[in-house]
Amino acid sequence: MFCKIRVKEALSREAHAIAETAKTGVGGLWPGDLPPDTGWSPVDVVPAAEIDALTERGLAVARENAGPLGPPVSLLDQNVLTVSAASGPTVKVPLRCLFALSGMGFVDPDGEVRVSATGAWLRLDAHYGAVVRRRTLTLPLLV
């Protein structure tokens, strides 16, 4: 009986936390702001073959430079693709975004990847999913 009550309490607290997250848009474990729903400007479309080639080259370099904890952060944060529109923002795509896109199987080898941006965010839309990353750094306010 005691166990059932504890489980019921835990589920009730979890349901309340989920409801609060749905209201505010920010969960307790999310480290910052969520990307916006609107305001995305299309920048360009990149062939999936080019994304795959960049990812494979990045993987080879990451394997050559891997330490005990994997590849260095500086390698993952290196911009490997720059995309720009005629009358829009220039977007730099770090290697970690390509690794995420490829690693989750979002890219259709015969398809394309659409690059979109807001002032602070980058989004890569592939056939089976999307990767979103903040383009600008946020400075934490210490009080």
The pLDDT tens digits of the residues spanning 102-112 come to 999 999 999 99
Nearest to 103 by CA among 59, 62, 47: 59
For residue 31, the model assigns a pLDDT of 65
- At 25-58, the pLDDT tens digits run 555 566 677 888 899 999 999 999 999 999 999 9
Residue 139: inside a domain? no
Contact status, residue 39 vs residue 118, Cβ threshold 8 Å: yes
Of 47, 40, 34, whose CA–CA distance to 116 is shortest? 40
Domain for residue 142, yes or no?
no
Instruction: For residue 140, tell me if it sits in a domain.
Output: no
The verdict on 5 and 50 lying in the same domain is: no
Residue 12's domain comprises 1-32
Q: How far is CA 48 from the centre of its chain?
A: 17
Q: Is residue 78 included in any domain, yes or no?
A: yes
Our count of domains for the chain comes to: 2
* Whether 71 and 117 share a structural domain: yes
pTM of the model: 0.73
- For residue 136, the model assigns a pLDDT of 79
